[in-house]
Structure formats: C-alpha cells, structure tokens
C-alpha cells in the first residue's frame, strides 16, 4: 500500500553560541530568516539565502522542533518505516537535538496508542552503536559482543537485543542505558563528543483489537512490503499461531551520527592520539559513504523517470548497511542538520549544508507494511473465490437466458409461418367445398320449371328451385340454387 512520492524532509537547526565560543568572541554568521530560509550574515558573504523544508532559529523550543518532525513519528504508528537523522559537525548539537526528539516522540507514541483502543500495539526496541566500523549492542555489555554481523540483504543485525517495551518510561530507560553505554570522548571541540554512530530502533506492530474467532491453520506470515525487522519484531509465539488478524508493522529509527571533524584539528597530542585518529578517520569515512549514498539516491530519484538504474554503495560502510532499509525509498526520512552559528565553524557548516542539499534531492514512496497471517490469507482467498464463483454463475445463467431468448424468437417465427399455412389450407378447403357444392347442385337441377331467361337472377330462389346449403364461412350460410341450367347464390341471414 504505497502513498504519494515525497522528498526527504530536510531541516536546519542553528544552535546558540556556546560559552567557549562566546569567550572567544566568535561572530555569529548564520540566521534563520523565516519560511525555510537560512542566510549567511558574515561580512562579505553573498547575500543569498539557502532554502530548506524548515530552518529552526537558535531559540526554538523542543516542542516546536518536535511538532515539525511529528508527522514522521506518527507515520510509524500507521505502518510506515520512518527515520529521523541528526547530522552535523562535532559539537553542532546532534546528540542534544536527538535526545529532545526521542523524549518527545516517546511521550507522543504512548499518548497516541492510549487514544487508539481499537488497535492492539506491540513495541520492541533495540539500540546499537557503530564504533570504528564495529557494530555493538548497547543493551548488552561491550565484552559480550564486539562486532555483530550485519546481514546484507535487509540490514538486519544478527543477535541484536530486541527488548519488549510497554510504557514510555520503559523506552526512556532503554534510551538512557544505551546513551550511557555509547562511546563518547572529550575532544578539543566537544567535551562529550559521540565517537560512534548510534541507531535506536522502535519496532511497532499493531492489529485490530477486536478478536476474531481463530481458524485452525498453522501460521506462516505472508509479507506485503514488510521489512524483515518488522516481521521479526513480533515472535510467532506472541503473534498467536492461529490469529487471522493482519499485522501492521513499522520501524521507527533514530540515528545520531558521530561528529565529523577534520582529523588533524581534533587529534590530541597525548597517549590516546592514535586511537582518536583512527576514530576520526573511520567516522569521516563512514560519513563520506553516507554522503555518497544520499548523492546516488538523489541521482536515482531524478533519473527514475528516465528508467536508469544507479549504483548505491550501501556496502561501503556498516552504517549504510544497517540503514539500508531506511534509505531504500519505502520509508519516510527526516534529517535535522545541526550547525554552529560561529564564524570559526564556517567551513564545516558549509559541508553540512552541502549534505543537506544532497539529502533533499532524494525521493521516497512511503509504503505501509502489512503482514498477513496464513489464516487471514486463507479467509481472504476463500471470500474472493466465492465472489468469483458467483460472478461466473451469473455469467453462465446470463448466457443460458440469451440462448433461450433466441430459441423463443425462432419458435415464434415458426408459429407465425405455420399459422399462415393453416389459413391458406383452410381457404383452399373452403374453395374446394364450394366447387363441390356447385357441381352437386347443378347435377340435381331439372328442366321441368325453367326460369325466365330474360329475368335477372332472383334474390330469392324460385319455388321449384332446390336450395342447397353449400358452404359455411364465418357464421354465414350461402344458399346456392340452380334454375334452367343457371346457378345463383345469395347469403342467408
């Protein structure tokens, strides 16, 4: 069930100057100038404004920020995969923004669910980080798993914990735990710099709350556009082997990217320098891959109408492999690009804005994922079968009626022609009878009382003439007589 094509929703959030930046007397050089416009106010910069779906000024409230993204979160409750990204240079406010969004989305999700008593929801959540190209489960201790396998086809992470969630508090707790376990470090630019990409996913499944009588059929899901994660989100034991209700499923993904920075400018000259250089270079490499994936998706979107296929390098980083289902085009995507207003961050900010422009070219066709159990599918097929049979019967009956009408018309024709034949035969019989009567009458007439040859044929027969009843037709009686070798006839009353 696909809805209309849309482009990736891209917004810019300008954070306020931080204390350190103010202390350095950094100049503010970006401002939101209304209705999605971002203007560079730096002296000498061209006075042009860049256009995005939304530009949040430094004093935006968390509620206003969430209100702009809410539609995507709500889509996930309706079965559409939705992803919220925070992108930007280190220290630009990605983690700060993502925490606000997750917190408000959590409250909103459970609020909405409580207002939908006719739907039965099942939620599970996972949290992972990709650190130095290694996938780690943030719901387990690091020692337990060093690098989880990413299954290529659907970006599924093998053995990742999928924790059942029954309340907003439960989801908040999970997010807090995963944030606490995430790899962060004090860098020259940000004292709490995230050194890994964090991916938190909420698997949301729902079905009609009104139970229908179970069908004695062993369940084996038939899929309709559902991602494997969504399908796995509900174990078959919980789904109920015989439950025929279709399940709507979606994954809501929150991606807080690690900070991109120039490796040399962030590397500290201490014993951990090599570790930090490695972190920085793997982060930048994976962000470059993300950028090229978005660029390819943008190219694919613009060339889709021309039927061209574009190669998308999902496999080049763990991040894009994990996010493949979110990026492939069947889910909704919202990107919040965070920027610092400081003039000193201008170069990094420009590269963030370049990414934002690339992301905006990407088109998606959001699709509702509905998983249908075999029992439900069998019911649907049976109903469809019965309807088709009915249609077929009607058609056959219709054909029979047409044939019968043809036969009736043919019989009518035959009856009409037989009627005409019968009338002709009757007429013939009448004429023959008349002739017979005349010949009988002339043979019985005598010359004893010959009629006056000069008189006209009398209206009444002469006394000696013999009346002969010779024919009956339509209730009339014809009297025929013969006198002196002459015959005459008149109608009797």
Ligand X SMILES: Nc1ncnc2c1ncn2[C@@H]1O[C@H](COP(=O)(O)OP(=O)(O)OP(=O)(O)O)[C@@H](O)[C@H]1O
Smallest gap from Cβ 104 to ligand X, in A, equals 14
Distance CA(334)–CA(371), nearest Å, equals 25
Q: Which of 16, 170, 291, 450 binds ligand X (CB under 6 A)?
A: 16
Smallest gap from Cβ 104 to Mg ion, in A, equals 18
Residue with tokens 């009843």: 469
What burial class does residue 398 get, using C-beta atoms within 10 Å of its C-beta: 0-12 exposed, 13-18 middle, 19+ buried? Answer: exposed
Q: In Å, how far are 167, 439, 445 from 463, measured between CA atoms?
A: 130, 21, 13
Smallest Cα–Cα separation from 56: which of 298, 358, 335?
335
What residues between 95 and 114 interact with ligand X by CB under 6 A? Answer: 95-96
Distance CA(266)–CA(105), nearest Å, equals 33
Task: Rule CB under 6 A: say whether 193 interacts with ligand X.
Answer: yes
Task: Rule CB under 6 A: say whether 92 interacts with ligand X.
Answer: yes
Please identify, using beta-carbon distances, which residue of 192 and 303 lies nearer to ligand X: 192
Smallest gap from Cβ 170 to ligand X, in A, equals 24
Torsion of CA 331, 353, 67, 167, to 10 degrees: 60
What residues between 228 and 267 interact with ligand X by CB under 6 A? Answer: 258-259
Q: Strand 332-339 and strand 370-372: pairing?
A: unpaired
User: Is 91 known to sit in a ligand binding site?
Assistant: yes
User: Is 222 known to sit in a ligand binding site?
Assistant: no
Please identify, using beta-carbon distances, which residue of 16 and 458 lies nearer to ligand X: 16
Please identify, using beta-carbon distances, which residue of 88 and 298 lies nearer to ligand X: 88
**Which contacts of 308-316 are long-range, i.e. CB under 8 A and separated by 24 or more positions?**
313/289, 315/152, 316/289, 316/292
Smallest Cα–Cα separation from 201: which of 224, 228, 241?
228
Task: Rule CB under 6 A: say whether 17 interacts with ligand X.
Answer: no
Please identify, using beta-carbon distances, which residue of 95 and 320 lies nearer to Mg ion: 95
Residue 234: how many CB atoms within 10 A of its CB?
A: 23
Q: Which of 94, 181, 203, 324 binds ligand X (CB under 6 A)?
A: 94
Smallest Cα–Cα separation from 67: which of 24, 105, 95, 30?
105
User: Is 88 known to sit in a ligand binding site?
Assistant: yes
Q: CB within 8 A of 327, min separation 6: which ones?
A: 83, 293, 294, 297, 312, 314, 320, 333
> Could you say which of Mg ion, ligand X, none residue 93 binds, taking C-beta under 5 to 8 angstroms by partner kind?
ligand X
CA 230 from chain center: how many Å? 17
Smallest gap from Cβ 14 to ligand X, in A, equals 8
- In the bound complex, which residue of the shown chain has the CB atom lying closest to ligand X? 259
Task: Rule CB under 6 A: say whether 352 interacts with ligand X.
Answer: no
β-bridge partners, 334: 9, 84
Considering only the stretches 186-194, 226-234, 391-399, 431-439, report the one whose residues sit in contact with ligand X under the rule CB under 6 A. Answer: 186-194
Q: Which residues bind Mg ion (CB under 5 A)?
A: 94-95, 194
Task: Rule CB under 6 A: say whether 11 interacts with ligand X.
Answer: no
Distance CA(293)–CA(274), nearest Å, equals 28
Task: Rule CB under 6 A: say whether 183 interacts with ligand X.
Answer: no
Please identify, using beta-carbon distances, which residue of 95 and 282 lies nearer to ligand X: 95
Residue with tokens 């469809």: 384
Task: Rule CB under 6 A: say whether 369 interacts with ligand X.
Answer: no
Please identify, using beta-carbon distances, which residue of 94 and 124 lies nearer to ligand X: 94
Residues annotated as binding site for ATP?
88-95
Residues that bind ligand X (CB under 6 A): 15-16, 18, 88, 90-96, 190, 192-194, 258-259, 338
């Amino acid at each position: 069930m696909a809805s209309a094509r849309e482009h990736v929703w891209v917004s810019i959030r300008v954070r306020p100057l931080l204390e350190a930046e103010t202390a350095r007397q950094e100049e503010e050089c970006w401002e939101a100038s209304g209705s999605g416009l971002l203007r560079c106010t730096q002296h000498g910069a061209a006075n042009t404004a860049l256009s995005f779906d939304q530009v949040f000024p430094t004093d935006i409230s968390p509620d206003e920020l969430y209100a702009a993204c809410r539609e995507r979160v709500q889509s996930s409750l309706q079965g559409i995969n939705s992803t919220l990204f925070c992108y930007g240079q280190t220290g630009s406010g990605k983690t700060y923004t993502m925490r606000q969004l997750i917190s408000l989305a959590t409250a909103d999700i459970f609020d909405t669910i409580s207002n939908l008593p006719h739907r039965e929801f099942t939620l599970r959540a996972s949290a992972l980080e990709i650190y130095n190209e290694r996938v780690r489960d943030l719901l387990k201790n690091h020692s337990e798993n060093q690098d989880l396998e990413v299954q290529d086809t659907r970006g599924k992470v093998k053995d990742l914990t999928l924790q059942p969630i029954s309340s907003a508090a439960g989801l908040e707790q999970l997010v807090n735990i995963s944030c606490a376990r995430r790899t962060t470090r004090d860098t020259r630019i940000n004292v709490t710099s995230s050194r890994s990409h964090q991916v938190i996913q909420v698997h949301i499944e729902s079905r009609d709350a009104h139970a229908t009588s179970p069908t004695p059929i062993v369940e084996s899901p038939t899929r309709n556009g559902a991602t494997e994660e969504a399908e796995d989100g509900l174990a078959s034991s919980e789904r109920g082997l015989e439950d025929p209700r279709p399940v709507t499923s979606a994954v809501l993904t929150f991606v807080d990217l690690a900070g991109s920075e120039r490796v040399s400018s962030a590397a500290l000259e201490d014993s951990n320098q090599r570790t930090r250089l490695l972190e920085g270079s793997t982060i930048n490499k994976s962000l470059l891959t993300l950028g090229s994936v978005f660029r390819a998706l943008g190219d694919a979107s613009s060339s889709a109408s021309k039927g061209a296929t574009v190669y998308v390098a999902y496999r080049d980083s763990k991040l894009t492999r994990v996010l493949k289902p979110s990026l492939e085009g069947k889910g909704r995507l919202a990107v919040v690009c965070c920027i610092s207003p400081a003039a000193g961050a201008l170069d990094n900010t420009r590269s963030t804005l370049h990414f934002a422009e690339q992301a905006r070219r990407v088109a998606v066709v959001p699709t509702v994922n509905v998983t249908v159990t075999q029992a439900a599918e069998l019911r649907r097929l049976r109903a469809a079968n019965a309807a088709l049979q009915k249609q077929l019967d009607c058609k056959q009956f219709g054909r029979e009626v047409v044939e019968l009408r043809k036969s009736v018309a043919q019989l009518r024709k035959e009856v009409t022609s037989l009627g005409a034949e019968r009338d002709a035969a009757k007429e013939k019989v009448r004429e023959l009878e008349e002739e017979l009567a005349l010949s009988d009458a002339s043979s019985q007439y005598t010359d004893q009382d010959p009629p006056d040859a000069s008189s006209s044929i009398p209206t009444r027969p002469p006394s000696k003439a013999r009346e002969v009843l010779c024919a009956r037709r339509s209730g009339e009686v014809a009297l025929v007589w013969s006198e002196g070798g002459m015959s005459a006839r008149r109608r009797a009353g």
